[in-house]
Structure 1
Amino acid sequence: MTDWPPGGSDPLLDALQSDHLPDTGHADMAGLLRDRRLGRVALVSSFGAESAALLHFVTRILPGVPVLFLDTGRHFPETLAYRDALAARLGLNLVILRPDPALIGAEDADGRLHARDPNMCCTLRKTFPLADALAGFDTWISGRKRYQATTRAALPAIERDGAHLKVNPLAFWSEADVAACFDRHALPRHPLVGRGYASIGCAPCTRPVRPDEDPRAGRWADTPDKTECGIHLGPDGRFARARPRPDSPH
């Protein structure tokens, strides 16, 4: 899976879609997640507003699946407490990823990189650590859903993400489906949800949303052109590290 795309076709992706996702009305997500052709699988979670639904759904199907959490060093304290509570409640195999402290020290010494260059801040704190961790896996699972934003309206349930497969098990769920999952399984809500946070990322770049806004409007609200943190690549995407600066040992 390191030399994709081979001739512009993807027989593995086509086969998985044919077997488990012939159309949106016949999506066998459990069968897809258990398919051995996915290889080594990890789940990536932000422990945000709706994360408990994904974590419960997937770990009932794949007990013990590694759950990767990107500890950027800029999370709300409530998110870290929620992460620990959910990990204990659901018996998660939690793996905490952190950015390179030397790189952060060199590039964000004053802690204001998020204001100067939010894309670079996400790259250092999220993309690079996740790229390193995913080198040990063939497939990763995300919690993205179509209803979250117009930019996700055509989100597929399974896709290519660089050399990896990526599964979005809740892609076709509605907001009501997520709420029903929380209610059915008595899942705790993130403590910031009650304060108007519909999508929760790092504290400096997240605000509450208004009732007329889409759930992700509070993310990078001061940077209108930025809608994603950068960990979600396109089919021919690659995680590419910038070359070290001449005066940097890293």
Structure 2
Amino acid sequence: MGAISLYAKASPDFAQKLAHSLELLKSSAATYSPLTQASSLGAEDMVVTHLLQEAGIDCSIFVLDTGMLHAETLALVGRIEERYQRKVDIYRPVESAASAFVQTNGPDAMYKSLELRKACCHIRKMEPLERALAGKNGWLTGLRREQSSARAEVHDIEQQAERVKVNPLADWTWGDVWHYISLNAIPYNPLHDQFFPSIGCAPCTRAVTLGEDFRSGRWWWEQESAKECGLHVAADGTHEAQEPAAFEPLSSIIPIREIPA
């Protein structure tokens, strides 16, 4: 069974959520221009890209090519450009810094310690992100409250030091995401069909099994509290949300395969 067959199930109030997301995007584009979308090329970000098209918003899109992404992930760049006639900007790590890190710590450094894993994320994600966001007043993400306990207080708009982060899918469920993908025939990463709900760098992502949490396939060798790369956390390690939000907690358990013993 594919991801659409497994997951596409809209919330009873999906129409209202969709209308709110579109209005949020339109108001954000008017208020925080220049605005850009940070796309991980995951299911949520493919939905955000489609929403931009539906809302008629001329917003740049960028991808952080860490040098360790799955081929299936990178293949979506061309599909976005062909489908939506929008150029996707690619930001890569500084080659000398990435090479020096691997030479010093080895290609498997991310498994050796949390400090080394975060150092790798800094070189491959955080530094390129700074370049991607330079000169922007706001950026769009596919963050959802349901994704993890660390993201349970994600708000529609979060104020950062130099810009705002806009999360148009904050109150969407996983079922909502796939319902919208199905309705609009949105291209998505085929790894989602192989039980990868959250997809990052290849060495740091695995498929999940029956009963596992949504993000359990990311950095699975670490404690749950450590499972962020730094893109969506404040300097003190907490989430960056700046204002209270009221929402009904949602389960992060998704229907997935059971691997035989």
- What is the deviation of 1:25? 7.8
Report the CA distance between 1:52 and its aligned residue: 1.7
Cα distance in 2 for partners of 1:115, 1:236 equals: 23
Q: Which amino acid aligns with 2:229?
A: C
Give the aligned partner of residue 198 of structure 2.
199
- Per the TM alignment, residue 26 of structure 1 is displaced from its structure 2 partner at its CA by 11
Deviates more, 1:113-122 or 1:191-200: 113-122
TM-score with structure 1 length normalisation?
0.78
Q: Aligned pair 1:112/2:120, yes or no?
A: no
Q: Hey, which bits of structure 1, 4+ residues long, moved more than 6 A?
A: 24-27
Task: Mark the runs of 5 or more structure 2 residues left unpaired by the alignment.
Answer: 1-15, 238-261
In structure 2, the residue corresponding to 1:42 is in which secondary structure? strand
Q: Quick check: 2:64–2:125 contact (8 Å CA) kept in 1? A: yes
Residue in 2 aligned with 1:48? 42
Shift of 1:50: 3.4
Residue 146 of structure 1, CA deviation = 1.0
Contact 2:17/2:171 (8 A) holds in 1: no
Is 1:30 aligned with 2:22?
yes
Change (3 A) 1:65 1:209: same
Which runs of structure 2 are paired with 1:81-120 in the superposition (5 Å)?
81-109=75-103, 110-116=106-112, 117-120=116-119
| Structure 1 segment 132-147 matched on structure 2, within 5 A | 132-147=131-146
| Higher normalized contact order (CA 8 Å, seq sep 6+, divided by chain length) | 2
Q: Give 1:174 deviation, angstroms.
A: 1.4
SS at the partner of 2:214? Answer: coil
Where 2:211 maps in the other structure, the secondary structure is: coil
Which has the larger share of helix? 2
Counterparts of 1:56-67 in structure 2, within 5 Å, are 56-67=50-61
Q: Which residue in 2 is equivalent to 1:226? A: 226
Alpha-carbon separation, structure 2, partners of 1:228 and 1:60: 31
Worse-superposed segment, 145-154 or 94-103: 145-154
2:178 partner SS: helix
Unaligned runs of 5+ in 1: 1-23, 238-250
Q: CA deviation at 1:210?
A: 1.5
User: Could you say what the CA RMSD is over the residues aligned between the two structures, in angstroms?
Assistant: 2.3
Deviations 1:74-122 (A, max 9, x none): 0011111123223322223310000111111222224333223111111
Distance 2:210 2:155 in 1: 27
* 1:38-86 per-position Cα deviation (integer Å, ceiling 9, x unaligned): 1310000010243321211123225431111000000011111123223
Distance 1:230 1:187, change over 3 A: same
Q: TM-score, normalised by structure 2?
A: 0.75
| 1:106/1:70 CA distance change after superposition, 3 Å | same
Quote the residue 1:213 is aligned against.
212
Are the counterparts in 2 of residues 44 and 68 from structure 1 also a CA contact under 8 Å? yes
Amino acid corresponding to residue 25 of structure 2 in structure 1: L
